[in-house]
Amino acid sequence: MPRTTRATTSMQATNDFFDSLGHKENAVLLRQISGTVRFDLAHDERVDYWFVTLDQGVAVVTQEQRDADCVLRTDRKIFEAMTRGEINPMAAMLRGQIMVIGDLRLLILLQRMMSGPPGAHDPRAFARRERTER
């Protein structure tokens, strides 16, 4: 059985995040916005580029370096921690761990697609449960 390294596992978090953007359940959150976001993820003296096109509920992800409405630059390890819910993207921006150029609202919207902190519960689920129990 092949051994899974931490690097493979953490890179999987990045791949899973970009794969999930095209799922139907995310279309509701993305339907009110159109634009492009490029993620520049630095590691090992290289940069991986992920380009996301948002068009009213449809997200298309490619790996290319193009001009975008919003560009997020960070270390790949920081981004992977963000996708796992270990680091809040807005807090990371305030700490200088990520740099955002362009339309910040696109990043805010994509932040909603990321996992919450480990052990966190969706507040909408709590509100729904409260309404149905009454």
Task: Look up residue 2 and give its DSSP letter.
Answer: P
- The predicted structure's pLDDT at residue 6: 41
The 10s digit of each residue's pLDDT in 118-129 is 555 555 565 666
Q: What token pair was written down for 89?
A: 């993207």
On the question of pLDDT at 63 being above 80, the answer is yes
CA distance 116 to 88: 8
- The predicted structure's pLDDT at residue 4: 35
Residue 14's pLDDT band, with cuts at 50, 70 and 90, is: confident
Q: Can you list the pairs that 58-62 forms with residues at least 24 positions away whose Cβ atoms lie under 8 Å?
A: 58/22, 58/27, 58/30, 59/21, 59/22, 59/26, 59/27, 59/30, 60/22, 61/18, 61/19, 61/21, 61/22
| Residue count of the chain | 134
Q: What are the strands of the beta sheet with 58-62, ordered from one edge?
A: 58-62, 46-55, 34-43, 70-75, 98-102
On the question of pLDDT at 7 being above 70, the answer is no
* Structural domains present in the chain: 6-133 (3.30.1050.10)
